[in-house]
Amino acid sequence: KGCKLVGCGSAVPGLQISNDDLATIVDTSDEWISVRTGIRNRRVLSGKESLTGLAVEAAKKALQMAKVDPDEVDLVLMCTSTPEDLFGSAPQIPKALGCKNNPLAFDITAACSGFVLGLVSAACYIRGGGFNNVLVIGADALSRYVDWTDRGTCILFGDAAGAVVVQACDSEEDGLFSFDLHSDGEGQRHLKAIIKQNEADHALGTNGSLLGFSPRNSSYSCIQMNGKEVFRFAVRVVPQSIASALEKAGLTGSSIDWLLLHQANRRIIDAVATRLEVPSERVISNLANYGNTSAASIPLALDEAVRSGKVQSGHTIAAAGFGAGLTWGSAIVRW
């Protein structure tokens, strides 16, 4: 059995924050940010907007393009590291879409690699049998975990959601040629948002101590990042990973139509493209408008490229995600 990509969609919050806006709250400048990162604007959730709402909007658009009815979806993979429910946001998607068949829905946590991992997982579920239409959503709201007084990180991130529909097909039509996925827990120290154990309130504390333990209320720290190390990591592992996936597919950097990397930093994207000998006109990037949107960045950029007519049916795309964990991975797919 094969699987193919049959639809995509995306959604971003209404509030746009420019580099000049950021320069009013931290000591930075449009020039510093755009030269070092390529980012000029980002969108941030505000007011009544929710990440789940963005994910639902992206999913609706993807289903519409795919001409798939919500009741035909049998699996929803919500790739996010910032769920609105610690127990998983995914089941809220089929609920909001009105799926009457109660499809399996669960979250995948792999930061900026989440979408590539979700795509490969969707293919594995389909190839294993029993699943025909899988909705893969990449959605993150890192603005909720950013320290807005830290100029080293707050300039980088934005919120967004993107989705694709992966559908079962005959093996001759198979659209996932190869993949390559990895993790390295050693590197966690360079990029993390870890749990904080706060003192519990008085009533909880008193009741807990009667039983011989100290209950804690937990929350997460803001994103802590060593930018230079993350940069080095990305430039080292991403070309290796894509090269390995390309080799498995019998392709080379010069034989693909598009390179679509996680949108973290313009200099990372350029360095990877150079190493793989992919000319700049075949590199997809919308980083300037949205910043680093974590698991959403690849499907968001894909959706824009498809709707603008850049990416066309039959094109080969080398996609790669990388980020916290550390995790990284590539997938060679046909649109």
- Contacting positions for ligand ACO (CB under 6 A): 28, 32-33, 36-37, 111-112, 151-152, 155-156, 191, 225, 227-228, 230-231, 264-265, 292, 294, 323-324
For helices 266-276 and 227-248, give the axis angle rounded to 10 degrees: 30
Question: In the beta sheet, which residues pair with residue 139?
Answer: 161
Q: Exposed/middle/buried for 279, CB within 10 Å: 0-12, 13-18, 19+?
A: exposed
Q: How far is the CB of 229 from ligand ACO (least distance, A)?
A: 8
Considering the complex, state which of residue 106 and residue 231 has its C-beta at the smaller distance from ligand ACO. 231
CA distance 156 to 146: 9
Considering the complex, state which of residue 2 and residue 227 has its C-beta at the smaller distance from ligand ACO. 227
Q: Show the tokens assigned to 6.
A: 């049959």
Q: Which of 328, 318, 316 is nearest to 264 (CA)?
A: 328
Q: Report yes or no: 193 and 222 within 8 Å, Cβ to Cβ.
A: yes
Q: How far is the CB of 214 from ligand ACO (least distance, A)?
A: 32
CA distance 84 to 138: 14
Q: Report yes or no: 300 and 10 within 8 Å, Cβ to Cβ.
A: yes
Considering the complex, state which of residue 18 and residue 205 has its C-beta at the smaller distance from ligand ACO. 18
Q: Is 315 a catalytic residue?
A: no
Considering the complex, state which of residue 7 and residue 187 has its C-beta at the smaller distance from ligand ACO. 187
Considering the complex, state which of residue 44 and residue 105 has its C-beta at the smaller distance from ligand ACO. 44
Q: Is 169 a catalytic residue?
A: no
Q: Is 262 a catalytic residue?
A: yes
Q: How far is the CB of 234 from ligand ACO (least distance, A)?
A: 6
Find the catalytic residue in 3, 8, 99, 112. 112
Q: How far is the CB of 323 from ligand ACO (least distance, A)?
A: 3
3-class state of residue 164 by DSSP: strand
Find the catalytic residue in 8, 133, 154, 262. 262
Residue whose Cβ sits closest to ligand ACO: 227
Q: Which of 305, 13, 5 is nearest to 135 (CA)?
A: 5
3-class state of residue 57 by DSSP: helix
3-class state of residue 2 by DSSP: strand
Q: How far is the CB of 28 from ligand ACO (least distance, A)?
A: 3
Alpha helices in 75-113 (DSSP H): 92-97
Active site amino acids:
112, 262, 292
